[in-house]
Amino acid sequence: MSGPHQPGGAQRVGVRIAGTGSCLPERKLTNADLVNMMETSDEWIVQRTGIRERRIADHTGPESTDKLAAESLRRALATAHMDAKDLDAIIVATMTGEMSCPPTACLVAAQIGAGACGAFDLNGACCGFVFGLNVAHGLVAGGAYRNVALIGADTLTRYMDYSDAGRSTAIIFGDAAGCAILRATDDTSKGIIAQSMHSDGAGWKEIYVPTQPFHFPEGVPVDACKYGRVQMNGAAVFKFAVGTFSNLIDETLQKARLKPSDIDLYICHQSNQRILHAARDRFGLPENKLYINIDRVGNTVAASVPLCLDEVVRSRGLPEGAKVLFVAFGGGLTWGSSLWQL
Ligand code: COA
């Protein structure tokens, strides 16, 4: 290890992304399938969101959140040429763990045969993976942990209402898991250059999942049919997202003293293609610098960012030294970024 000494005896080290993996459920839910379930059309969905199909997990067990998460980690371990026993910690960013106890990360640890490593969940809604990158980076850069697996996994389709009443929300979401393994390196040029994490708790009522009468915001009638179903104010979230997205990129670039063109790749939460295009136009980015897969997978919540990362790594690779800006926003409300030099 190299670098200056930190309080407590640990040494500051570089952090690299040693491997990535992802896992999608088998079943596709196309716009044509949705037309058979609710009053909608392929044209409406594509025009408003850019989504053509998404994956929906088998909710009877074989594709539970922890199983998708574990498979994404197995694939990441394979690309990192690492054994599960090498992991010092497993963090799962999710808002759809199958049970509130145990943590999904513990189920994952057992399934992959990890040793007695640390394992815990982090709920930052759609920001979970990006917040997790900042947290996991801190654990490794501080010198106390060498190998941390960070997974974003969600199966939010369990909480959808696929009837006319839920049509503006149900068309958006899909299920997936993605993973990145963060590893200590002596090269201190690698790791996070700038980051941000924000929230506005007053905006909780724009996306929530009620299960009790008192969960409904003031002025919204209690409706038991909505229990366990995502309630989203699409128009309000859209407005929040467009503005926040640009501000977040500006803020992070300013912290790093970089220009938009200095970034090699933008990996952004896939919430709506129009929101992504608006950011691309605002910063004058060429198409190949802002990765988009929402047409094939929809909005996969905390899995969205690591799924994009893994697809990029596998399809075109990411060169050593590349600058990659991860950006997300979501329920909470939350928003955050993580700018890396690989
Ligand atoms: N198919 C056809 N029509 C639909 C529809 C569907 N699936 N869903 C809603 N509509 C209708 C509405 O009933 C409404 O009809 P009306 O004008 O006759 O009342 C009309 O389309 C407009 O509805 P609205 O909800 O205002 O649509 P919108 O243009 O805001 O688009 C979203 C809805 C959800 C696509 C859009 O608001 C959005 O993408 N928001 C951001 C969501 C997001 O990113 N969430 C995740 C955050 S991490």
**Nearest CA owner, ligand 1 atom 29:** 48
Residue 2, pLDDT > 70, answer no
Q: Decide if 54 contacts 303 (C-beta within 8 A).
A: no
The answer to whether residue 299 is catalytic is: yes
- Give me the CATH code for the 1-342 domain, please: 3.40.47.10
- Is 151 in a helix, a strand, or coil? strand
CA of 95 to the centre of ligand 1 (A): 23
Percentage of the chain beyond pLDDT 70 is 97
> Among the options 23, 126, 179, 268, which is catalytic?
126
Residue 9, pLDDT > 80, answer no
> Where along the chain do its domains lie?
1-342
The pLDDT confidence band at residue 129, using thresholds 50, 70 and 90, is very high
pLDDT recorded at residue 196 = 97
Summarize the confidence of residues 183-210 as an average pLDDT.
97
Pocket of ligand 1 (CB under 6 A): 40, 44, 48-49, 126, 167-168, 171-172, 232, 234-235, 237-238, 241, 271-272, 299, 330
The pLDDT confidence band at residue 10, using thresholds 50, 70 and 90, is low
- Is 292 in a helix, a strand, or coil? coil
What region, left, alpha or beta, does residue 113 occupy, with left being phi > 0 and alpha being psi -120 to 50 degrees? left
* Least confident residue range of 10-14, 178-182, 195-199: 10-14
* Least confident residue range of 29-38, 148-157, 257-266, 275-284: 275-284
Mean of the per-residue pLDDT values of the chain:
95
> Among the options 137, 147, 179, 269, which is catalytic?
269
pLDDT recorded at residue 7 = 43
The answer to whether residue 147 is catalytic is: no
Summarize the confidence of residues 228-239 as an average pLDDT.
95
In terms of C-beta density within 10 A (0-12 exposed, 13-18 middle, 19 or more buried), how is residue 15 classed? buried
Residue 157, pLDDT > 50, answer yes
**Nearest CA owner, ligand 1 atom 32:** 234
pLDDT recorded at residue 182 = 98
pLDDT recorded at residue 12 = 75
Residue 3, pLDDT > 50, answer no
Whole-Å CA distances, 143 to 9, 14, 164: 9, 9, 52
The answer to whether residue 268 is catalytic is: no
Instruction: Report how far Cα 206 is from the mean position of its chain's Cα atoms.
Output: 19
> Among the options 31, 147, 272, 299, which is catalytic?
299
Residue 8, pLDDT > 50, answer no
